[in-house]
Amino acid sequence: MGQTVFIPRELDANEQRVAASPDTVKRLAGLGFEVVVEKGAGTGSRIPDQDFAANGAKIGTAGDAKKADVVLKVRRPTDAELKGYKQGAAVIAIMDPYGNDAAVAAMAKAGITAFSMEFMPRITRAQVMDVLSSQANLAGYQAVIDAAAEYDRALPMMMTAAGTVPAAKAFIMGVGVAGLQAIATARRLGAVVTATDVRPAVKEQVQSLGAKFLAVEDEEFKAAETAGGYAKEMSKEYQAKQAALTAEHIAKQDIVITTALIPGRPAPKLVSAAMVASMKPGSVIVDLAVERGGNVEGAQAGKVVTTANGVKIVGHLNVPGRVAASASLLYAKNLFAFLETLVDKENKTLAIKRDDELVKATMLTDAGQVVHPNFAKADQQPRVEPAAVPATTLVAEASEKKTAPKKTADKKTATSKSAAKPKGIA
């Protein structure tokens, strides 16, 4: 009897995605696996059980997990799920381990070999496995759709006999995968788009999509990218300068979308309460980083907040999951591409090569131990996340630097130019 891959129904009420598609089920069967999909696992992604069954899957129950050699999931398994897995099973999911040391330690204790898909290295070989890109791309698209839904006016300029409707102004903060897709989508809908990021390499990408780039382009800016292509955390001095530059710009925008994240840290505060207060009634801010603490002061996870001055701050959870039918197809392909590298094609069995660069980068736990270097002490000393720099601090710093030379500077002008825009990250 061949080895078994189990695809469960996700337990989180906000999670509509599934870790397989009819196509990947067929491919998994081709690799020699018996594939078991829990009944109803694909319902939230518009994939009925019969579509999985037609491609070679057996429709089972949650109890089938105890026989599985491989478990493919969207989210990290809960303690209850871990109790149903057999020791030595390979569990592949988006593990979200930062700040969740107890959960990482629990996976080690359960004896599973856990892989965190979001740790996939950004190398050519692994592009098809890059879940951050596949899911962030859809998050950027959906952010614009959500903004348009909350914005009670048209986005494109419309010229009619009765008059002209002006185009909406959209500002994208953080130009990673999500930011680039947000720019492209907003442009397709007819908005006038500007964008900012601390990485100099993205300037050309922003301009190629027809948007205008906004940033303090000093020496720190020119070196603000890691070898892996991620943004670095910027100094407080740079954050203050960027705050002064963007504060006045934000006050003129109809839509602001923030996408900034730093791996392993809380989301940086990009938009202060003062900035929000400077915006026009009816303006919309979409905070894609709300689950990591948020880029926007006043954003609340899972809620759309309307401020006293009539600005809506959108903090939807699991934004890729809001387009689950599309997100699941891409995520399933990411998982299959990775799992395929762990299979011995001749014997058609799981054969994890622990010296492989993909395995070393993504393996969290193995043989009862936490093996990833970033979490090696998770079962001994829980990691305490560093605090994000408050936007209010950055506002104060920007104001101080801006107004010090002119003791009689106009108070209104100083305020508008110094609201916060900190560590721009994409």
Nearest in space to 421 (alpha carbons), one of 232, 186, 247, 193: 247
122 is a catalytic site residue:
yes
Cβ atoms of residues 109 and 291 within 8 Å: no
101 is a catalytic site residue:
no
Cβ atoms within 10 Å of 284's Cβ, excluding its own: 24
127 is a catalytic site residue:
yes
Cβ atoms of residues 36 and 58 within 8 Å: yes
Cβ atoms of residues 151 and 281 within 8 Å: no
Catalytic residue among 130, 146, 287, 366: 130
Tell me the C-alpha to C-alpha distance, in Å, between residue 32 and each of 68, 102, 222, 252, 348. Answer: 14, 35, 50, 58, 5
Distance CA 45, CA 52 (A): 12
Catalytic residue among 116, 133, 134, 418: 133
Pairing of strands 58-60, 34-38: parallel
Residue type, 303: K
Cβ atoms of residues 343 and 350 within 8 Å: yes
Q: CA angle 76-80-81, nearest 5°? A: 50
Catalytic residue among 127, 207, 208, 235: 127
Task: Name the DSSP letter for residue 127.
Answer: G
Residue type, 374: N
What is the per-residue burial (b if ≥16 Cβ within 10 Å, else e) of 109-132? ebbbbbbbbbbbeeeeebeebbbb
133 is a catalytic site residue:
yes
Pairing of strands 158-160, 70-75: unpaired
Catalytic residue among 12, 230, 300, 383: 230
151 is a catalytic site residue:
no
Q: Which residues are catalytic?
A: 122, 127, 130, 133, 230
